[in-house]
Amino acid sequence: MEIKADTTVCIGAGMCALTVPDVFDQSDDEGTVVVLRGEVPPELEDAVRRAVTLCPSGAISAS
């Protein structure tokens, strides 16, 4: 699973960090998305897909 995160679109709502804290965090200054790991273990893939759906600004995608 490949995750793309666009910090220029991100509004720092934090839904990704709330949903999958093992994969997503937020930067301290602007609160924008930080991807913590390139490889997503299979057991977290559903949660990552849910985080993509929950993102209000369309800043993250997973394929």
SS3 3: strand
State the binding string over 4-43 for other proteins (x if CB under 8 A, else -). Answer: -------xxxx--xxx-x---xxxxxxxx-----------
Cross-strand pairs, 53: none
Nearer to other proteins, 5 or 13 (CB): 13
**Cα–Cα distance measured from residue 6 to residue 9, given in angstroms and rounded to the nearest whole number:** 6
- Six-digit token pair at 40? 């997503």
Residue 57 Cβ vs other proteins, minimum distance, rounded to whole Å = 6
Cross-strand pairs, 60: 5
Give residues in contact with other proteins (CB under 8 A).
Answer: 11-14, 17-19, 21, 25-32, 50, 53-54, 56-58
